[in-house]
Amino acid sequence: MTNEECETIREPMDSLFSRGRLQSNSNEPWWQKNFFITRPLLFGTWDGVFTTVLGIGGIVNAVILLIICTSLALISVFSAIGIYERCQIQSGGIYFLVSHILGGQIGGAIGLMYTFGQLYDDVLIGFGESAARFLGIENSFIHKIIAIAGLLALTGTNMIGVRWIIRLQLILLIFLMVALIDFYLGALFKVDIENGVGYFSMIRLDANMNPMYDGFNCSQLGFDVQQIRQNFFTVFGVFFANFLGVLAGVNMSDDLRDPQLSIPVGELSAIAVSSMIILSFILLLGSLVNRAYLICDTLIAEKVSYTGFLYLIGLYVSSLSSTVGTLIGTPRVIQSIASEGIIPILNPLAIGVC
């Protein structure tokens, strides 16, 4: 078996998404090198998930998915805004909203399900695996240790106080902005024909308009994976998961100086900015990248980016930012449920609630 075959990452055949083959090119100029930042796993919207959704669903269906997901997110946000305008705002986020409409018992049940669902944002396994590869370590136990260490560090920052969490989020936001700039600069000035990236082309844009649900054998491009047949709803199910954190600001209502003003402005602004960024990614990737590479190469957006390594840093930061948001909101939901005495076993967690 050759070294190239050993480095190939194999995925289950029934998986919707696959990892790209790890590649290295010593002849690349210095500004295109990754500086030992190895290719990450599937982090979420920016890479892994989104590019394959675009490749399989096509530009038209990707835009339709974006409209549907944004509309569903807006329904939740407008409902939250309406409740906050008519009720005296308390802590508890999701639990506060549901309990004031459907009652404490239903609110407690939904709040618990929401909390346990958000636990998946705290795992950081993808971050741990990528960080371990950065150190040249291929040990699953070390991956978990790094993930736990990262989670403990973020938890410690959260325990210090909300002020430090906000400062950390601002720092992470700067890294995300730099990653976006790196992508947009690459879309304007960079060409990588070998990896299916060219200049803006209306012909390519038209070719990527319609879906390709019948599956595709990626081995002809050097990727040891075969995309199986999909449909609109399987793609929608994966893409919609990226919009589940839309009420993160609502969970911070007790920490806001003026929640009745901050929540509508913050939530609607976040949805608007995120939707516009995703729309720009759809149009740019659809006009720059060949369909086969959109489907097979889960890290094609990194190849579009001008430097690449700045974009990869943005992927690391995006995973940490999601975890920080979860650590802020979910403890407040649990504490509010405990303060109501609905679930007796949680009563000790109500300490500190006025």
Please state, rounded to an integer, the average pLDDT across all residues of the chain. Answer: 77
Cβ count within 10 A of residue 177:
11
Dihedrals phi, psi of 88, to nearest 5 degrees: -75, 120
Residue with tokens 């190939």: 8
How sure is the predictor about 322, in pLDDT bands with cuts at 50, 70 and 90? confident
226: three-class secondary structure by DSSP = strand
Query: What CA–CA distance (Å, rounded) separates 138 from 95?
Result: 41
| Of 121-135, 174-188, 331-345, minimum mean pLDDT range | 121-135
Average pLDDT rounded to a whole number, residues 25-42 = 43
Tens digit of each residue's pLDDT (9 = 90 or more) over 182-228? 999 999 999 888 888 888 889 999 999 999 888 778 877 777 767 77
Lookup: tokens for 192? 């990588």
48: three-class secondary structure by DSSP = strand
Top pLDDT among 268 and 133 is at: 268
Q: Do the beta carbons of residue 317 and residue 178 sit within 8 Å?
A: no
Query: What CA–CA distance (Å, rounded) separates 242 from 278?
Result: 11
Q: Give the domain ranges of the chain.
A: 29-350
Query: What CA–CA distance (Å, rounded) separates 331 from 327?
Result: 7
Query: What CA–CA distance (Å, rounded) separates 173 from 154?
Result: 16
Beta-bridge mates of residue 226:
217
pTM here is 0.76
Angle made by CA atoms 79, 120, 235, in degrees to the nearest 5: 70
Fold adopted by 29-350: Amino acid/polyamine transporter I (1.20.1740)
